[in-house]
Amino acid sequence: MLRRGRASLAFSFFAQGATFALLVTRIPAIQHRYGISDALLPVILAAVPILAGVGSVTTEQLVKRVRPSRLLRWSQPVVLLALLAVGSGDRMAEVGIALAVFGLAVGALDASMNMLGVSLQRSYGRSIMLGFHAAYSLGGILGASLAWVGAHWHLALWVSYLPVVAVLLPATFVGSRWYVDGSVSAADAQEAKAGPVAFRLLLPLCLVMTFAYIGDSTVSNWSAKYLQDTLGSSEQLATVPYNVYMVTTLLGRSIGDFGVRRFGAAAVVRLGTLVAAAGFAVVAGAPGAWVGMLGFTLLGLGLCVLVPQTFAAAGRLFPGASDTAVARLNIFNYVGFLVGSPLVGALGDAWSYRGAMLIPMALVLVTLVYVRSFAPAADRYGDDHERSRTADVGRGGNGV
């Protein structure tokens, strides 16, 4: 049951990675299709993560009555259909509605997906969370590649999106039969009743999540422009850093769980933080494009471990209320995404883009202050106390 639950959840992460990449990498085509002005585009793009935050908050309340597996089962098809609607409309109102639905549904999807990942990791008794996010990265690489094909062959958006939705929608829905909801031990349930999720205890992880996504959005939004305008690369070479970043993110997450099992979550987060900071330092001081690409490579290897381990740490910190903790923490995913790109852009215009790269570096380094939040207590799993077998299986495997 656990193996099927793990595989089906990994496929859900993979599908969401591909879906999100297909949306964000075709933003210029979406803008052209609907005649969205340059002034209006940032407003529309900001509305999506804001609505996703609303979706995450709503999910926190819904999981008190509905299992996370059921929310994931129904939110993922909505996200996929909303993507298809974005590529199929003709009027501004239509894309506005489609993106609003996408934002609300993706907030519920992200929250419920990570809730299941945290609870399944708890049932396994060892680190598996990075593997789920590795599947997300793999999906992102596939989605970006399909988007390139669509752009290269000048395919209409709906033509690019329809085959992907036609494959992923039924596949994820069938796979959702094997989602596994986590159960809570009697001791953890009593602990949850005695003390609900306290924001002051969750705050360090919220800050780490925000800073990690500020770093991630810096790479996704500014790497091409930085390489071309600041480091003098060609237009073709400028497209490479983000692809390199995605590949190294996949690599780091694929092996990250082994590092957590061997050295502990705190050690992996500390190393990831230092590598990410070194990456930003190399990017800021790079004399040319190839050294800059080395910096973006380091960024992928460093940043990739922070978000999955932050979700896992929230689950350990509040074992009796992990769903609530994950939903609240997930909001700061979108906060970082909203803050990162305009922050670097404003500093780059007012100061310099080299200097602007030092700001996400400094923010990521703040993680070192809170690294103890990732170290499990002596009675938890994940450091030198990994359990070899499952302690409890959890609730039913079909999520209904």
Query: What average pLDDT does range 285-310 have in this prediction?
Result: 96
The reply to whether 256 and 324 lie within a common domain is yes
Residue 195: which pLDDT band, with cuts at 50, 70 and 90?
Answer: low
Determine contact, residues 80/117, Cβ cutoff 8 Å. no
191 shares its domain with 144: no
- 148 and 198 share one domain: no
The predicted model gives 364-384 an average pLDDT of 74
Query: How much is the pLDDT for 113?
Result: 97
Check whether 371 has a pLDDT greater than 80: yes
* 239, two tokens: 């497209």
Instruction: Using the predicted structure, report yes or no on whether residue 205 has a pLDDT greater than 60.
Output: yes
User: Cα-atom radius of gyration of the chain, to the nearest Å?
Assistant: 20
Report the pLDDT value the prediction gives residue 242, as an integer from 0 to 100.
84
pLDDT recorded at residue 179: 96
User: How many CB atoms lie under 10 A from the CB of residue 92?
Assistant: 13
With respect to residue 122, please indicate whether it lies within any of the assigned structural domains.
yes
Residue 26 sits at the vertex; the CA angle it makes with 146 and 13, to the nearest 5 degrees, is 60
Instruction: Please say if the pLDDT value at position 199 is more than 90.
Output: no
Amino acid 393 reads V
Mean pLDDT for all residues in the chain:
89
CA distance 86 to 209: 29
Same structural domain, 118 and 224: no
The last residue of a domain, from among 183, 212, 241: 183
φ, ψ for residue 164, nearest 5 deg:
-65, -45
Per-residue pLDDT band for 297 (boundaries 50, 70, 90) equals very high
Do 149 and 218 belong to one domain? Answer: no
Q: Are residues 43 and 171 in the same domain?
A: yes
Do 167 and 205 share a domain, yes or no? no
Range of the domain at 126: 1-183
pLDDT tens column, 98-108: 999 999 999 99
Express each pLDDT in 16-53 by its tens digit. Answer: 999 999 998 888 889 889 999 988 988 888 899 999 99
Looking at 183, 208, 233, the residue that finishes a domain is: 183
Half-sphere exposure of 80 (CA within 13 A, CB side): 26
Residue 258 has which token pair?
């082994």
% of the chain beyond a pLDDT of 90: 72
**Quick check: is 318 in a domain?**
yes
Confidence of residue 202 (pLDDT cuts 50, 70, 90): very high
Q: 3-state DSSP helix/strand/coil percent for the chain, to nearest 5?
A: 80, 0, 20
Tokens of 292: 């800059």
Report whether pLDDT(5) > 50. yes
For the segment 232-245, the average pLDDT, to the nearest whole number, is 84
Give the mean model confidence (pLDDT) for residues 237-248: 86
Q: Is-contact 279 218, C-beta < 8 A?
A: no
Spatial CA neighbour of 295 closest among 355, 219, 213? 219
pLDDT in the model for residue 239: 75
pLDDT of residue 235: 77
Is 43 within 8 Å of 306 (Cβ atoms)? no
CATH number at residue 168: 1.20.1250.20
Tell me what pLDDT residue 184 has.
57
Total domain count for the chain? Answer: 2
Q: Is the pLDDT of residue 178 over 90?
A: yes
Question: How confident is the model at residue 1, as a pLDDT?
Answer: 83
Helix or strand holding residue 14 (H, E): helix 2-24
pLDDT at res. 183: 65
Query: Does the model's pTM come out above 0.75?
Result: yes
Per-residue confidence (pLDDT) for residue 392, from 0 to 100: 36
CA atoms within 13 A on the CB side of 302: 30
Domain boundary among 166, 183, 200: 183
| Range scoring the smallest mean pLDDT among 69-78, 225-234, 307-316 | 225-234
Are residues 159 and 201 both part of a single domain?
no
Q: Say yes or no: 370 and 224 in one domain.
A: yes
Pick the more confident residue, 7 or 191. 7
Query: Is there a single domain that holds both residue 132 and residue 217?
Result: no
* 234 lies in the same domain as 360: yes
Is the four-CA dihedral 162, 167, 170, 176 of positive or negative sign? negative
Q: Is there a single domain that holds both residue 89 and residue 191?
A: no
